[in-house]
Chain A
């Protein structure tokens, strides 16, 4: 009799323990209904920018857009009178450059990397973080070939 009671208590204890403990996070994620964003078909509009890309965009618009243009095509209003013309940054060929190359060109300017001095060096004006953000924003400008 006593043994049977003890057994019942143990069963009850295990049951309570299982109820009291929270569920495993993976399990809860698995049966969560999909949010509308996930279920919706992909739309044509470009992916929203990440926080870094947004900061990069703001920096690009302030410092770079006057020559390189809004889409990076090298058609900013100040580009009109410049020879050589600013580089088309959305060009897939240009986009093959590594992040390190782009960073280097921004930091040291055209003259620093053997190109036209009309592209100024920004290493002393922008912080390393700002330059990284600009580089990640430049990647979003890539035109599909």
Chain B
């Protein structure tokens, strides 16, 4: 009898255990959600038939299987049923239709959900799928940083439709994050920070202390972060910097320059504006800002150093973006006289340039600090071979579990990765004593942008076929005398050639040979004038010799061509007068004058066309008119979808625009 009773009890127990799983499944939230969605769909459906289709749908797990994307399975549509359903505009979450983006709804089946949003695709409960638990791997990317998802596949610096990510990436490069932290794809990054070998001849202990206390307070354009050094540390580092011997050639150049007689400041002022210094530098905030602010430069550097530096900046810092101008001895003297007169901090204490008598013990401690804070990562240390990256690797930082992060003293933070990253950027040393990362002084928006860029750094690179690499043209830079000129004038500091170079200039040189006429280019290089008057960044007047200009123009004419741009768009049949008259009519009816100046009338957004025929080659004009975006993707000139005939007529008209005469135009534009 007890045996039978026990048998009955265990059978019932067994049945109960068996029933738990289906019961649990029956009460899963997604089932109720799916019922709600079907009701909502039926209510919103435009026809009875469509409504019936909604109600007839079975409750089931919905999933997207990405065989080629790490074999992912995304079950997000189990709850987010309306993601691809246009009827679910403004529906309550989780049913709302996915906003339209470059990839949605087109690529749902190719990308799934987690490849952009993060989270656990296999899970079917909200907490698990969204990864909100602290020990969850790859939690969902929060909406304000969603562009981090774009960055997993798009590894380029600028990503279309992802302005926050692009801003974050450019901030990371500009702030030199990659100098200390290794990040895939940035292995070759080298900071442009100057070597510090001549600093003892450049300035004094007072100024170094001022700078170290807060670089951005001294120069708003500074990229150097604030190391929050103690008074004592600053003193030791200063002693170390003063103990570093300057290279003999530079020391001699500075010493000679210091003996130079005073120059003529009035002429210096003229040179300063002619050389277009503010195309890169700023003066009281006016200018491009990619190079140091100059308004207090004479209180930062001694006269001898300034003179020697202006005469050959590239000898002081081989990585500098500053070109080597053709200043004569007298001209550089005049320029420095102007800087000394005008660009001075009149409130500065007198002892800024006070030299330091090096104390060997302090200097030795300073050297240790120089290593300890990783200063050498940006300012190369004499005698130190290329060291490993100083900070921790950042690859995979976007996939870190919140539970694996050290929040230390920061008990005030939500235990999430984005919150940790934001706090690390805002107050890097607030987590524990003894941390080394300096403070970059990013504002709220910049911090959010950098957090987005960091969240884009996944642990594993995405599969090859998902990686987005733009068809960037790799163009080689010639060597020999032409290469030496390109290096001397640092063309690549401002102009892009292929996928290299800076973005200060709006004119990439990749197809310059197909674009401008050689004779114009030679004249322009000898005496450049302003093509776009609204820009602060203007081509400096290098005053290169006509021989140098010819050499460069010939190189551009021969190397930097676009094979798709015809030499003669008219194909041997020169346009008739009627064509250019018709072209002129098109110029008016299309509204070209909204952006281009012709004579005196028109907007100033585009380049003036008064002398278009002298500057541009007709083949390029024709190709441009047929679709400006093909030649430069982000250009504002709209594509008017002109027929070949109309484009040729307009080209014919522009070919008649030769200006009044060269001399007044060149003078006026300067």
Contacts of A78 in B (CB 8 A): 534, 594-595, 603-605
Q: Verify if B261 is at the interface (C-beta below 8 Å from A).
A: no
Identify the closest chain B residue to A54 (Cβ).
Answer: B163
Contacts of B466 in A (CB 8 A): none
* A-B pairs with beta carbons under 8 Å apart, 11 shown: A12-B16, A21-B23, A22-B27, A22-B28, A51-B143, A52-B100, A58-B163, A63-B636, A118-B593, A119-B594, A129-B100
Contact yes or no, B638 A124, CB < 8 A: yes
Q: A24-B27, A111-B591 are in contact. List 11 more A-B contacts (CB 8 A).
A: A24-B32, A26-B32, A52-B99, A54-B164, A78-B594, A81-B602, A110-B591, A120-B591, A121-B638, A123-B641, A129-B100
Contact yes or no, B638 A122, CB < 8 A: yes
Taken residue by residue from 575 to 608, chain B's Cβ proximity to chain A (1 for < 8 Å, 0 otherwise) reads as 0000000000000111101110000011111000
Determine which of B16, B161, B163, B589 lies in contact with A117 in the assembled complex, contact meaning CB atoms within 8 Å: B589
Shortest distance in angstroms between A44's beta carbon and chain B's nearest beta carbon?
Answer: 17
Q: Verify if A25 is at the interface (C-beta below 8 Å from B).
A: yes
Contacts of A20 in B (CB 8 A): 20, 23-24, 27
Contact yes or no, B146 A51, CB < 8 A: yes
Q: Verify if B101 is at the interface (C-beta below 8 Å from A).
A: yes
Contacts of A119 in B (CB 8 A): 591, 594
Contacts of B590 in A (CB 8 A): 111, 117, 120
Q: Verify if B102 is at the interface (C-beta below 8 Å from A).
A: yes
Q: How far is the CA of A123 from the CA of B125 in the complex (A)?
A: 44
Q: How far is the CA of A108 from the CA of B341 in the complex (A)?
A: 56
Known: A78-B595, A118-B593. A25 touches B29 (CB 8 A): yes
Known: A22-B27, A22-B125. A124 touches B161 (CB 8 A): no
Q: Verify if B26 is at the interface (C-beta below 8 Å from A).
A: yes
Contacts of A28 in B (CB 8 A): 29
In the complex, which residues 6-38 of chain B have their Cβ closer than 8 Å to any Cβ of chain A? 12, 16, 19-20, 23-24, 26-29, 32-33
Taken residue by residue from 25 to 59, chain A's Cβ proximity to chain B (1 for < 8 Å, 0 otherwise) reads as 11010000000000000000000001110110010
Q: How far is the CA of A22 from the CA of B325 in the complex (A)?
A: 75
Contact yes or no, B19 A13, CB < 8 A: yes
Known: A51-B101, A81-B601, A111-B591. A22 touches B29 (CB 8 A): yes
Q: Verify if B629 is at the interface (C-beta below 8 Å from A).
A: yes
Contact yes or no, A58 B161, CB < 8 A: yes
Known: A54-B163, A120-B638. A17 touches B629 (CB 8 A): no
Q: Verify if A98 is at the interface (C-beta below 8 Å from B).
A: no
Contacts of A22 in B (CB 8 A): 24, 27-29, 125
Q: Verify if B634 is at the interface (C-beta below 8 Å from A).
A: yes
Contacts of A138 in B (CB 8 A): none
Q: Verify if B639 is at the interface (C-beta below 8 Å from A).
A: yes
Contacts of B593 in A (CB 8 A): 118
Contact yes or no, A17 B603, CB < 8 A: no
Identify the closest chain A residue to B642 (Cβ).
Answer: A124
Identify the closest chain A residue to B33 (Cβ).
Answer: A25
Contact yes or no, B641 A124, CB < 8 A: yes
Contacts of B442 in A (CB 8 A): none
Q: Verify if B640 is at the interface (C-beta below 8 Å from A).
A: yes
Known: A25-B32, A52-B99, A125-B629. A16 touches B594 (CB 8 A): no
Contacts of A63 in B (CB 8 A): 636
Determine which of A17, A52, A122 lies in contact with B23 in the assembled complex, contact meaning CB atoms within 8 Å: A17
- Give how many B residues have a beta carbon under 8 Å from the other chain's beta carbons: 43
Known: A66-B636, A120-B640. A21 touches B604 (CB 8 A): no
Q: Verify if A62 is at the interface (C-beta below 8 Å from B).
A: yes
Taken residue by residue from 44 to 62, chain B's Cβ proximity to chain A (1 for < 8 Å, 0 otherwise) reads as 0000000000000000000
Q: How far is the CA of A67 from the CA of B634 in the complex (A)?
A: 17
Q: Verify if A77 is at the interface (C-beta below 8 Å from B).
A: yes
In the complex, which residues 323-344 of chain B have their Cβ closer than 8 Å to any Cβ of chain A? none
Shortest distance in angstroms between A45's beta carbon and chain B's nearest beta carbon?
Answer: 12
Q: How far is the CA of A129 from the CA of B100 in the complex (A)?
A: 7
Q: Verify if A100 is at the interface (C-beta below 8 Å from B).
A: no
Contact yes or no, B589 A111, CB < 8 A: yes
Contact yes or no, A132 B638, CB < 8 A: no
Q: Verify if A9 is at the interface (C-beta below 8 Å from B).
A: yes
Contacts of A58 in B (CB 8 A): 161, 163
Q: Nearest 4 A-B pairs (CB), nearest first?
A: A21-B27, A117-B591, A118-B594, A124-B639
Q: How far is the CA of A50 from the CA of B90 in the complex (A)?
A: 12
Q: How far is the CA of A132 from the CA of B161 in the complex (A)?
A: 14
Contact yes or no, B102 A16, CB < 8 A: no
Contacts of B636 in A (CB 8 A): 62-63, 66
Identify the closest chain B residue to A52 (Cβ).
Answer: B99
Shortest distance in angstroms between B602's beta carbon and chain A's nearest beta carbon?
Answer: 6
Q: How far is the CA of A112 from the CA of B47 in the complex (A)?
A: 36
Contact yes or no, A81 B16, CB < 8 A: no
Q: Verify if A4 is at the interface (C-beta below 8 Å from B).
A: no
Shortest distance in angstroms between B158's beta carbon and chain A's nearest beta carbon?
Answer: 11
Identify the closest chain A residue to B636 (Cβ).
Answer: A63
Contact yes or no, B161 A81, CB < 8 A: no
Identify the closest chain A residue to B602 (Cβ).
Answer: A81
Identify the closest chain B residue to A117 (Cβ).
Answer: B591
Q: Verify if A82 is at the interface (C-beta below 8 Å from B).
A: yes
Identify the closest chain B residue to A61 (Cβ).
Answer: B163
Q: How far is the CA of A125 from the CA of B12 in the complex (A)?
A: 72
Known: A25-B29, A62-B636, A125-B639. A82 touches B594 (CB 8 A): yes
Q: How far is the CA of A77 from the CA of B125 in the complex (A)?
A: 53
